[in-house]
Amino acid sequence: MNTTALTLCIAVLHLLGVFAAMHAVTRARTPQGAVGWALGLLLLPYVTLLPYLYLGSSRFFGYHVGHPAPTPEAIPEASATLTVEPACARFAAISALQRRPFRGSHQLQLLVDGEAAFEAMFSAMAAAEQCLLVQFFIIHDDMLGRRLQQILLQRAAAGVQVCVLFDGVGSHALPQRYLETLRAGGVAIHRFATHRWRNRFQLNFRNHRKIVVVDGTLGYVGGLNVGDEYLGLKPPLSPWRDTMLELRGPAVADLQKLFADDWQWITGQLPPLLPSPPGEGTASALIVAAGPADPLETGSLFFTAAIHAARERVWLSTPYFVPDNAVRSALQLAVLRGVDVRVLIPSRPDHRTVFLASTLHAHQALRAGIRMFRYQPGFLHQKALLIDHDCAAIGSMNLDSRSFRLNFEVSALVVDPEFADKVEAMLGEDFSRALAITDREYHDAPYLRRVAMHVARLFDPLL
The residues annotated as belonging to the active site are 208, 210, 215, 381, 383, 388
**Could you please report the per-residue DSSP string of 258-293?**
HHHHHHHHHHSSPPP-------SS-EEEEEEEE-TT
Parallel/antiparallel/unpaired status of strands 384-387 and 391-395? antiparallel
To which H or E segment does residue 126 belong?
helix 114-126
Which distant-in-sequence residues (6+ apart) come within 8 Å of 282 by Cβ? 104, 105, 106, 416, 418
Residue 292 CB: number of other CB atoms within 10 A? 27
- Inter-axis angle of helices 325-336 and 352-367, to 10 degrees? 30
Which distant-in-sequence residues (6+ apart) come within 8 Å of 324 by Cβ? 30, 300, 401, 404, 460
| Stated length of the chain | 463
Residue 71: DSSP 8-state: -
Largest CA distance in the chain: 79
Distance CA(408)–CA(209), nearest Å, equals: 6
At residue 39, what is the residue type?
Answer: L
Distances from the Cα of 34 to the Cα of 201, 425, 461, angstroms: 19, 43, 10
Distance CA(302)–CA(9), nearest Å, equals: 47
To which H or E segment does residue 304 belong?
helix 298-308
Distance CA(372)–CA(342), nearest Å, equals: 6
Task: Give the N- to C-terminal CA distance of the chain in Å, as an integer.
Answer: 40
Please name which of 462, 424, 451, 440 lies closest in space to residue 356, comparing C-alpha atoms. 451
Q: Cis omega before residue 272 (within 30°)? A: no
Distance CA(99)–CA(101), nearest Å, equals: 7
Parallel/antiparallel/unpaired status of strands 340-346 and 313-317? parallel
